[in-house]
Structure 1
């Protein structure tokens, strides 16, 4: 039933409208003067990582990373760096006070003690291939300095002393939700930097994704093959979707519908071969048609203001729109038309135990009911 009505026009401009930074797991570095050189650590291994990704108020994505490292030798001091790509698209990519313009509140703790960090601006194309990288002097930088493209990225780096045995590192940050004409939000995270550590894997890896209540999103099958490695802690459903070159989902992916709670991926001896790509499409990509009537009825409460059924003026349209909040929660409709209509949505999860109570809806949804009564 669903088709991507404006696909050809939109896919031509996706790349200039996204301003999502690309973040990476922590890697090891060597310093030479004002140069940072990525290295493969040969002694210290990653025993455990818990990566939590949480969307807050549809404005920020907060990332929290917890590591347990093991150093089998005597105390060792190295540089650990966290990589962040420059933003791109219809944004100003220049740094603010030397830091990423859309990344905020970066903190890092090692063995429960706070660490200071520095930020390097890196432009050498050999950076990810063990090249010698010279930190940019922004005041005298002769490359792109303004507008919607800057040809460098950031490394948030900190000196660490790994004592013999177990060591923990925990860092957090948040950044502005990225979007554009094609995307409601878009998030990328580099996982393969974990392969720089001595064991070339994460012995015990957990990834928790919490995009909030009533969210629909996709995860590319870039670092996992089996969706059974994922569990829903809450209520929702996940399913597989085959990629198609004629669709915005151009690679095999997992389609997630979460009424409440989070999805969790766990893996022992995790050796990531790909990165994390999470995407939620905008209303422009979700217009559907039935019996000659165009409509868009979103699962997300944040997108319901864009909902429509035809021109929204007919009694049929108002009835369908009015019942959207209850359909989200799996209300089993007795009305044949509503039952037939909403049962065809991928996000609809029938719940015979659900009783529709207006005061239990969100404020936005209660206002929605007033609008369409």
Structure 2
């Protein structure tokens, strides 16, 4: 049975990073009905904001429609356990890498409970079958644990429209290959009465000066996305048994966020976002877009390399260089977006960038 539970968890976490490569901390998920229901999801606005490469701040707005008389329903949130270079034991009775979990239904804050469950068959006739944690014989701590979490609450749905606002945070995962990655389960939304989300919006805000990719698991091409700001996209071709196995869409965001909208959304795949650790930074063949990869850059050995580093903050903002060597170098970088209107101003850089600029003057 332990092997069965582990197999189920691995199937639910296809992008899992194992211990010797990094850490999987947590993934976002949909609210789900614990029993069969005719309540439908009319609208969902899901906002994911990456904070300082440390955690994902999740804000969800739902509109549910109850076609019949008022009813009370147990609603759950499945939080899969961390694996890899982690400590998997519960923290204060909750998921160790998830925090600030809140639910509000029709402007009333709801209380919730947390159950530890052994496998995906925890739902028994509309009730949650939790394990007896004290006497549980599986792994309860360390790099791998044999259970996961179900946050659950009682929701009283009035007849007609019901609004749920839901928030939480979870730690960003990472590995030797990924500077960061995070996941969000979209497909469980099909467990509601209409087997879809009638009107779905996904907003991802990874911050300015970021390059990241999104697997093409629930969309086909760039035309389905909007960049609210300044940026560009390129296609990434996956290959079986390679580092990048799935086709993806890569975003180079100078400023702003990305938005996906879909009517009658029936997600057959889940969200996986990742930023690859830059290759070539040791010999200056490449310089990263993100602040958070600056520490991977080697010490400069020539005056030209020092010039490259000094001007990196301006290149990120699209400065068109007059120096032919600098101009040629930055125009070859995939993330560079020239802005003829941008005028370099050291005083407008961030405090960290000012220190960077002074270091390489």
TM over 0.5: yes
Q: CA RMSD in A?
A: 2.0
1:139 and 2:134 aligned: yes
The secondary structure found in structure 2 opposite 1:18 is strand
**Which piece of structure 1 moves more, 137-146 or 357-366?**
137-146
Shift, 1:317, TM fit:
1.1
Shift, 1:313, TM fit:
2.0
Structure 1 equivalent of residue 328 of structure 2 = 340
Structure 2 equivalent of residue 215 of structure 1 = 210
Normalization by structure 1: what TM-score?
Answer: 0.88
1:349 and 2:337 aligned: yes
Separation of aligned partners in 2, 1:161 and 1:183: 42
The 5 Å alignment of 1:1-40 reads 14-16=17-19, 17-29=22-34, 39-40=35-36
Pairing partner for 2:112 from 117, 138, 142: 117
Pairing partner for 1:227 from 222, 228, 232: 222
Shift, 1:243, TM fit:
1.1
Structure 1 equivalent of residue 9 of structure 2 = none
Shift, 1:57, TM fit:
2.5
Separation of aligned partners in 2, 1:345 and 1:222: 27
**Which piece of structure 1 moves more, 346-355 or 171-180?**
171-180
Q: Which runs of 5+ in 1 are unaligned?
A: 1-12, 30-38
The secondary structure found in structure 1 opposite 2:84 is coil
Normalization by structure 2: what TM-score?
Answer: 0.90
Structure 1 equivalent of residue 71 of structure 2 = 76
Shift, 1:335, TM fit:
1.1
The 5 Å alignment of 1:1-373 reads 14-16=17-19, 17-29=22-34, 39-41=35-37, 43-127=38-122, 134-245=129-240, 247-283=242-278, 286-287=279-280, 293-308=283-298, 311-373=299-361
Separation of aligned partners in 2, 1:115 and 1:132: 18
Contact 1:110 1:167 in 2 (8 A): yes
Contact 1:106 1:172 in 2 (8 A): yes
Shift, 1:323, TM fit:
1.2
- Call closer, same or farther: CA 1:152–1:130 in 2, change over 3 Å: farther
Separation of aligned partners in 2, 1:50 and 1:94: 32
The secondary structure found in structure 2 opposite 1:367 is helix
Q: Which runs of 5+ in 2 are unaligned?
A: 1-15
The secondary structure found in structure 2 opposite 1:77 is strand
Separation of aligned partners in 2, 1:75 and 1:128: 23
Separation of aligned partners in 2, 1:335 and 1:75: 70
String of CA shifts for 1:326-349, please: whole Å, max 9, x gaps. Answer: 111111111111111111111000
The secondary structure found in structure 1 opposite 2:267 is coil
Structure 1 equivalent of residue 7 of structure 2 = none
